[in-house]
Amino acid sequence: MKKFAAFAMFVLAMALMFVACSAESNEKAPAQKKVSIVATIYPQYDWLKNILGDRLDAVNLKLLIKNGTDLHSYKPSAQDIAAIASADMVVFVGGESDEWIEKALKATPKDGRVQVNLMEALGDRVKEEEVVEGMQEETKDEKPALSLPKGRETKEIAEENHEHGEKAEKHEDGHHHHEEAENDEHIWLSLKNAELLVMNLADALSKVDTAHATEYHMNAGLYIAKISALDAQYRAATDSASLKTILFGDRFPFRYLVDDYGIKYFAAFVGCSAESEASFETVAFLAGKMDSLALPAIFTIDESNGKIARAILDASKKSKETPVLTLNSMQSVTDAQMQSGVDYLSVMQSNLEVLKKAIK
């Protein structure tokens, strides 16, 4: 994930280009300038739309990461740097994936610009990424995934792993301290976090458009009530569930969500992992858990090819008809989704309906 240091020189170059262009354009300043707001990812963009309400058309609200681009693989363009440099308000998550934007902000100082680092706003509510039992850590020398030694069946490996569960657990525990833990940046997947952050954004927006502060706070309050109502639905569903364990044959960006409702999880990788292939041991361990816990479904995240999830099912004793369910992490948004009216609350509502199928 340490991929953004290379952007430092790029950001500086873009900043110098912007300053040069601004010197020319300042001679022809417009009579009335709209407030300019830049949001990096879709959840915060949608929150801002709801806070702005009827004033959405009175500002320039720009979403940077779109067209199906994932937060973790995004690379800013010259136009993106220019948009940040000229913005009156910039909203970003503040995790490792946003290191580039902090460099851009430092390289393009602007009087009065409001910068909203959402992880800073959450303070001690930010969680570290955790490596749970059976989860594969990122290493430079991973074993080849999903290709088996001759004469061995994946199911056989799974059964062996299940029989030696205590040994596997000790093995995994030994991996927890190889690297310093990083903060989990998927903060928007907690409805409780969303409530706090929406009001924080209303406060920030009121600083750049003081004349409409009352309206923004009123809109934020109405929107938070909707978030709170959905949170209550999640609580009711999870409190009444007889099974509160889920398993992901994929990355797991949902720690904030499951922690809110006391759901236990197993997964192939942490949420920000760049890994796409699982080792024999990871597949076997998760297959064993599918069997021993009698889990009714396995999960993947949006945009996943489902390869690891299917391999886990193949290695388990589960029926071939066991459903592979998908939870939407909102790490990316497509143009089609935006045009169809998909929003933060509708995605979280859909995630709840999917989750209910696995925690009956």
Check which CATH number belongs to the domain holding 299 and give it.
3.40.50.1980
Residues 32 and 164 in one domain: no
Residues 164 and 271 in one domain: yes
* 130 found inside a domain: no
Residue 176 token pair: 């927890």
Residues 223 and 297 in one domain: no
* 133 found inside a domain: no
Residue 146: count other Cβ atoms within 10 Å of its Cβ: 18
On whether the CB atoms of residues 8 and 81 are closer than 8 A, the answer is no
Sign of the Cα torsion 291, 299, 128, 277 reads positive
From 225, 226, 224, 232, select the one nearest 201 (Cα to Cα).
224
Residues 212 and 308 in one domain: no
d(Cα 129, Cα 43) in Å, to the nearest integer? 20
**Strands, E assignment, 28-113:** 35-39, 59-63, 89-92
* 137 found inside a domain: no
* 266 found inside a domain: yes
Which residues form the domain of 281? 154-183+240-356
Residues 275 and 160 in one domain: yes
Number of domains in the chain: 2
Model's pTM, two decimal places? 0.82
Residues 62 and 201 in one domain: yes
User: What is the full per-residue pLDDT of the chain (360 aa) written as tens digits?
Assistant: 444 444 445 544 454 454 444 444 444 545 468 999 999 999 999 999 999 999 999 999 999 999 999 898 899 999 999 999 999 999 999 999 999 999 999 999 999 999 999 999 999 999 999 999 989 876 544 433 443 333 444 444 344 444 444 444 444 444 444 456 789 999 999 999 999 999 999 999 999 999 999 999 999 999 999 999 999 999 999 999 999 999 999 999 999 999 999 999 999 998 665 566 889 999 999 999 999 999 999 999 998 999 999 999 999 999 889 999 999 999 999 989 999 999 999 999 999 999 999 998
The strand pair at 89-92 and 114-117 is best described as parallel
Place of tokens 């993947």: 300
Residue 300 token pair: 């993947």
* 140 found inside a domain: no
CA dihedral 98, 103, 104, 109 (to 10 degrees): 130
d(Cα 67, Cα 335) in Å, to the nearest integer? 5
Residues 75 and 220 in one domain: yes
Residues 195 and 305 in one domain: no
pLDDT number for residue 4: 45
pLDDT number for residue 72: 87
pLDDT number for residue 155: 47
